[in-house]
Amino acid sequence: MAEGEFALVRHYLEIALSKSAAWVGEHDLYAMLADAAAQQRDEAALRQYAPLAEEAAARYDHKLYQAVAHRAWGVTHRLAGDYAEAEARLNQALELFRGLDTRWQIGRTLFELGELAAARGEAAVAREQLSLALTAFEEMKAAPDAARARAALEAG
């Protein structure tokens, strides 16, 4: 999605937070908002929604949303330059996603680990993680994500 589309997603999800609906809970919305903020690399929104997503996911023992929250925190910490905490959070997310066998989420988390390695100046590790992400995306024909991983590999 383009940056403008993410802004629209956030806008409508925030509207949904103010309304009551039987089919969606706050935990769903917070997970989506944290995830959209991570994809946008919006540190302010990440700091707002990652803790709410994490708290709600823990309350419901929702493993998928716990993993989404860990990944959101991982991106937050990477953006802030706290690479050790970013790595810990991204690895927690990866472990949960693997336990759930959520291939697209695994690929997205591998991509984030590649971005982290690139930020650390670890080019070989970045290439390895991004290549794993690319393979995962190509296997499931997730073309936009595969293109993003390919572009990151070419840039690195």
Last residue of a domain, one of 50, 80, 110: 80
Question: In terms of domains, do 136 and 73 share one?
Answer: no
Mean pLDDT of 24-41: 91
Q: Which domain holds residue 17?
A: 1-80
Q: How many domains does the chain have?
A: 2
- Position 12 in a domain: yes
Q: How high is the pLDDT of residue 2?
A: 44
Question: In terms of domains, do 21 and 58 share one?
Answer: yes
- Position 13 in a domain: yes
Question: In terms of domains, do 113 and 74 share one?
Answer: no
Tens-digit pLDDT profile for residues 121-132: 999 999 999 999
Phi, psi of 106 (to 5 degrees): -60, -50
- Position 93 in a domain: no
Mean pLDDT of 117-146: 98
Question: In terms of domains, do 7 and 58 share one?
Answer: yes
Show the CA angle centred on residue 77, arms to residues 103 and 55, nearest 5°.
70
Last residue of a domain, one of 80, 114, 147: 80
